[in-house]
């Protein structure tokens, strides 16, 4: 069967979005990311070529030539969102927002038929909305139909609270978002990681090198033991509490050092999602934070997904960063299904 559509994934990381498109049977022809350490995972799991390039500098024609001739060009990506988060706006030297302008430049020069962009909700407010408005202006002057909104990933089967701004642009007509598939029946933490074998903090399971949990300090081990099911630091005896939590300003940080609940959904997976003190990342029952594999499953990566070259030493912080930065696979699949339905509506 002749290929009708071809996809290029910008800022692809280890391939969460690409994996979603592959599940929907799209032909992904290449992924671009400046971080070369993503290459092994991206290519091994997706069988798609990875290009380690700085998209601020790369000529658009090098991307354009990847699209298969006489196919509908689909350009997708998640420009690094750290610059748009509330936390990172404290830092004046963070210029990663330039990536979205590079995305716009590439669109301006390639003019693909279909575009999808995923980012954090706060993008709409960043610099009083100027960054998003500038991106929309590129699309408007190229006569795209534009649709965007904030979606909750858990509404589409992702077992975590992860809201994202999803944008579609099309030369064909307005793209209509798919209705939520899990609005009233969320996929739970138990359904996602409850089957994994137990491990201790600092331990790696012999059958899965990604099922690895951080070693806890003696004090943090006492803290997790003192944390009841679904609880957090407020349940600890005074001797275990941090000085910052005893201050009035610290009382608002209720989610740190917390345990997840089996019957609930997980918090947003971040680039520090296996650290006990970095959020509600405590295992529901075991006295540790979640493992790398558990974080990957909560990002809806397949359990067989490989994140590092077995012939090289694994960097736990790097794998954790790759997992936290990824587009959840099922959110990527929703984006791909939305585009698939849109193309069918217009006979493409």
Catalytic residue among 12, 38, 78, 81: 81
- Cα 155 to its chain centre, rounded Å, is 15
81 is an active site residue: yes
Write the burial class of residue 237 (CB in 10 Å: 0-12 exposed, 13-18 middle, 19+ buried): exposed
Residue 66 makes CB contacts below 8 A (sequence gap 6+) with 6, 8, 29, 30
- Please choose, from the candidates 329, 246, 222, 233, the residue with its C-alpha nearest in 3D space to the C-alpha of residue 281: 233
Between the alpha carbon of residue 187 and those of residues 153, 180, 181, 195, 245, the distances in Å are 11, 13, 11, 14, 32
- Please choose, from the candidates 330, 31, 298, 311, the residue with its C-alpha nearest in 3D space to the C-alpha of residue 161: 298
**Are 134 and 302 within 8 A, CB to CB?**
no
Structure tokens at 288: 């540790």
- Please choose, from the candidates 194, 196, 125, 186, the residue with its C-alpha nearest in 3D space to the C-alpha of residue 158: 186
**Are 316 and 293 within 8 A, CB to CB?**
no
Distance CA 190, CA 272 (A): 21
Question: Could you give the residue numbers annotated as active site?
Answer: 81
């Amino acid at each position: 069967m002749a290929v009708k559509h071809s996809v290029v994934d910008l800022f692809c990381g280890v391939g969460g979005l690409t994996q979603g498109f592959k599940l929907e049977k799209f032909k992904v022809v290449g992924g671009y990311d400046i971080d070369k350490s993503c290459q092994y995972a991206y290519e091994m799991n997706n069988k798609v070529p990875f290009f380690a390039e700085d998209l601020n500098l790369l000529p658009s024609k090098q991307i354009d030539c990847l699209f298969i001739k006489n196919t509908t060009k689909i350009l997708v990506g998640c420009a690094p969102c750290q610059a748009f988060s509330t936390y990172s706006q404290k830092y004046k030297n963070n210029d990663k927002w330039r990536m979205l302008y590079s995305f716009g430049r590439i669109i301006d020069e390639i003019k693909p038929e279909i575009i999808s962009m995923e980012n954090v909700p706060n993008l709409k407010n960043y610099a009083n909305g100027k960054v998003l408005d500038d991106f929309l202006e590129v699309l408007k002057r190229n006569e795209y139909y534009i649709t965007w909104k904030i979606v909750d990933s858990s509404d589409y089967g992702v077992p975590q609270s992860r809201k994202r701004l999803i944008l579609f642009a099309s030369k064909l007509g307005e793209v209509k978002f798919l209705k939520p598939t899990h609005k009233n029946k969320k996929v739970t933490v138990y359904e996602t990681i409850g089957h994994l074998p137990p491990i201790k903090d600092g331990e790696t399971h012999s059958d899965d090198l990604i099922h690895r949990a951080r070693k806890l300090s003696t004090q943090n081990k006492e803290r997790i033991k003192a944390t009841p099911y679904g609880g957090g630091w407020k349940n600890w005896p005074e001797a275990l509490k941090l000085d910052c939590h005893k201050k009035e300003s610290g009382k608002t940080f209720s989610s740190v050092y917390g345990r997840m609940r089996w019957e609930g959904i997980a918090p947003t997976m971040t680039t520090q999602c296996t650290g006990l003190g970095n959020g509600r990342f405590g295992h529901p029952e075991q006295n540790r934070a979640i493992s790398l594999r558990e974080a990957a499953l909560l990002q809806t990566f397949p359990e067989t997904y490989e994140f590092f070259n077995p012939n090289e030493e694994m960097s736990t912080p790097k794998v954790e960063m790759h997992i936290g930065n990824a587009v959840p696979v099922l959110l990527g699949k929703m984006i791909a299904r939305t585009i698939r339905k849109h193309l069918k509506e217009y006979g493409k």
